[in-house]
Amino acid sequence: MQASRRSATPSGADSSTPLEGGSDTASGTPSATAPGAASGAALEPAAVLRRARQRRLTVALVAALSLAAGMQAWTSLRTKSLTFDELTYIPAGYSYVVTGDYRLNPEHPPLTKLLAGVAILPLRPDLDATGPAWQGADQWAFGADFFNGSGVDVERLVSAARLPTVFLLMLLVGAAYAFAADLYGRWAGLLAATLVAFDPNLLAHGRLATNDFALTFTMFLTVYGTFRFTRRPSAGNAAFVGIALGLALLTKFIALLLLGLVPLWLAFAALRRQGALPVPDLVWLEAVSEGRAKRLTFAAGSAALMALIALFVVTLGYGRPGDPRPYLNGLGVLYTNVHLDMQTYLGGAFHEGRLWYYFPAVFLLKTPTPLLGLLALRAGDQITRRDVERETGAFLLLPAMCWVAVVAAIALPFGLRYVLPVYPLLFVYASGIVAPRPSWRPWTAVAAAACAGLLVAGSLRAHPHYIPYFNLLAGGPSNGIEWLDDSNIDWGQDLPLLRRYVEEHGVTDLTVTPMAWYDPALYGVHGRVVGPNEMLRLLGDPDAPPGVYAVSAHLLTRGRYSQSSFDALSELEPTAILGHSIYVYER
C-alpha cells in the first residue's frame, strides 16, 4: 500500500485510544464545552484531569485482571503433568529451534512449538538427533525419549515450555478490553477483560504448550485488527492484520477460514451506507470513480496486501522466507496421526460418525452457567430494543458462527478446545450489555455484575482443575464423565495427584492405565502399566490380584464402547477420584 497523500480521518470514527474507553459518550464522560465560552474554559482543565485519572485507573484494573489470569494459570500448570499433545509438541519445537529441521509433527504448523522450544532453550536439555525415533520421524517415540533423556527435571521443563502460552493469556485480557472498549465503552471493556481472565475453559488451555489457545489469541487479534482497519485504514493497521493473520495460519490449518473472512469484513465495511470504509487519497486509486466502487477497490487491494504479508509471515515461521511448500506439505498430512474412525462419545453413549450438534452440546455443557446467562441477557436486550448492531454481527457473531459450523463439519470430536476461539468474541459481544444508551436499563448492569461475580467465584472454586470443568447444567465436574471424554475431562494431566496419593497411602502394588504415551514413572508413579483392555479385564475379574488400580477417566469411558467390556463406571465404586480425571480402585 502506497503512503497516502494526506491523513484521512474516518467520519464519525473514534480517534481516542482504547484505554480511554472510546468516545466521551461511550465512556460516560460529558464532552467539554466548546473553547471560547467562559464556562468551557473553566471546565476544560478539570475534564482533562478527570480523563487522566480514569485512564490511569483503567490501566491499573486491566493490568490487575491480566495478572490475575496469569497467576491462576501459573499456579495451576505447576501441579499438572504433561498432556497428551504436549508429548510431541514440546520436543518437536525444541528440535526446530536447535536443528532447524521440521520433520517432527508436520501435520500442525510450528508457531506454538517454536515458542515452547525457545522457552526451554535456557535449560539446555539434551536432544538425540541420531536415534531411530529421529531418523524415522516417530514423534511419539521421540517425545518419550526426549523427556526421559533430557537431563532436566520433567516438571521444570514442562513448566518452562508452557510459559509463552500464559503470556498470551495475559495479553488476551488486554486485547479483549481494547476491542470491547472500542465498541461499547470503558465499562464494557472491563467486563470483557474480566470474563477472559476468569473463564475456566480459557484458563484450561491458556497454560498448556498446545495449539488451541495460541489460535484463539491470534484469531482474536486478526478480527480486532480488521475491525480497527475498517475505522482507521492505514499501512500500519494493514500490516498488523497481515501479521496477525500470518501468525494464526502458523498455529493451526483451520485458520485458513480467516482468509475468507478478512475480505468479507472489508467488503462489508465498503458497502455500508453509514460509516462506510473511509478511503485515503492513494495514487493507485485515482482512476477509480468515487463512491462504492472506490471503496470496494480499496478493500480488495487492502485484502491482497494483508494476504501477502500473512504469506510472508507463514514462510518465515518455517525458516523458508517466500517458500510456501513446507506449509502446503503439512496441510497434506493433516490427518495422518489420528484415528479418523473414532466414535463420538456424548451423554454416556457412543455414536458412529460425526454428530452435527456435538460441538454446540459441548459448548452448552462446559461454558459456565453465568456466562450462558449473560449471553442470553445480551441477546434478549438486543432483541427487545430491536437494535441490529451490524458491526457486532459482522465482527463478533459471524466469525463465531462460521467457526462452529466449520469445526462441526471437519473436526474430530476431541473436545471443546476446537471451538475455544469463539469465546473471547462472545465475551466482547456479551460486554455490550453495559454499553451506555439513551434508554439505559440499570438492572442490566446489576445482572451483568452478578454474572461476572458468579463467574469469578466459580473459577476460583475450579482451580487448579480447569480441564474437567463442567457447568451446573451438566451436574458439575463430578458428572462430566457421564457426558464427554477426551480433552474435555482427561488429557493425562493428573499424574502428580496420583503420585501424591501413592505416597500418602503407602501404595506398593499399583497397576495403572494412564492417558499418556509415556511411562508414568517419569512423574514418580511406579507400578505395573497395562493397556485399557487389560485394566477393564482386571477390574471386572473378582479373582484379580489385590492391590490399587488407577485408570484414566477417558479410557474408562472408552471401555463403554464394546458391550462385552466391563463398565467400571457403572459397576464399581471408586476409592478416590483424582482431579476428576483418574479413578482409583482398591481390590
Span 520-539, pLDDT tens digits? 999 999 999 999 889 988 99
Beta strand 582-586 pairing with 548-552: antiparallel
CA 231 to CA 42: how far, in whole Å?
A: 33
CB 105 within 8 A of CB 95: no
Span 438-480, pLDDT tens digits? 777 788 889 999 999 999 999 999 999 999 999 999 999 999 9
CB 363 within 8 A of CB 419: yes
pLDDT-derived band at 566, boundaries 50, 70, 90: confident
- Domain residue limits, the chain: 86-161, 486-586
CB 201 within 8 A of CB 420: yes
Span 325-340, pLDDT tens digits? 999 999 988 876 666 6
CB 182 within 8 A of CB 228: yes
- Residue 207 reports pLDDT greater than 80: yes
CB 169 within 8 A of CB 214: no
Q: Could you say which DSSP state residue 367 is in?
A: S
The mean per-residue pLDDT over the stretch 249-268 comes to 96
Among candidate residues 183, 197, 187, 196, the one with its CA nearest the CA of residue 57: 187
Which tops the pLDDT comparison, 402 or 23?
402
CA 294 to CA 297: how far, in whole Å?
A: 5
* pLDDT, position 568: 79
> To the nearest whole number, what is the mean pLDDT of the chain?
89
Which tops the pLDDT comparison, 411 or 471?
471
- Residue 83 reports pLDDT greater than 60: yes
Torsion of CA 324, 329, 335, 338, to 10 degrees: -110
CA 33 to CA 238: how far, in whole Å?
A: 36
pLDDT-derived band at 274, boundaries 50, 70, 90: low
Among candidate residues 448, 455, 419, the one with its CA nearest the CA of residue 69: 455
Q: For the chain, how are helix, strand and coil distributed in percent, rounded to 5?
A: 60, 5, 35
CB 328 within 8 A of CB 334: no
Q: Which three cell numbers stand for residue 524?
A: 514418580
CA 429 to CA 423: how far, in whole Å?
A: 10
Helix (H, G, I), strand (E, B) or coil at 552: strand
pTM: 0.90
The mean per-residue pLDDT over the stretch 555-571 comes to 76
CA 414 to CA 191: how far, in whole Å?
A: 30
CB 163 within 8 A of CB 173: no
- b vs e for 416-450, b when ≥16 Cβ sit within 10 Å of the residue's Cβ? bbbbbbbbbbbbbbbbbbbbbeeeeeeebeebbee
Return the axis-axis angle of helices 186-198 and 154-184, rounded to nearest 10°: 160
Q: Which of 36-50, 348-362, 377-391 has the highest mean pLDDT?
A: 348-362
Which tops the pLDDT comparison, 376 or 286?
376
* pLDDT, position 44: 81
Torsion sign, CA atoms 236, 237, 240, 241? negative
CA 566 to CA 101: how far, in whole Å?
A: 45
* Cβ neighbour number for residue 339 with a 10 Å cutoff: 8
pLDDT-derived band at 38, boundaries 50, 70, 90: very low
Helix (H, G, I), strand (E, B) or coil at 346: strand
pLDDT-derived band at 87, boundaries 50, 70, 90: very high
* Cβ neighbour number for residue 72 with a 10 Å cutoff: 24
pLDDT-derived band at 5, boundaries 50, 70, 90: very low
Torsion of CA 14, 17, 23, 24, to 10 degrees: -150
What's the CA angle centered on 334, arms 328 and 335, to 5 degrees?
Answer: 155
Find the helix or strand (DSSP H, E) in which 123 lies.
none
Task: Count CA within 13 A, CB hemisphere, residue 406.
Answer: 18
With cell 495514487, the residue in question is 283
**522 class by beta-carbon count within 10 Å (0-12 exposed, 13-18 middle, 19+ buried):** middle
The mean per-residue pLDDT over the stretch 469-497 comes to 96
pLDDT-derived band at 17, boundaries 50, 70, 90: very low
- Residue 22 reports pLDDT greater than 60: no
* pLDDT, position 36: 42
Type of residue numbered 86:
E
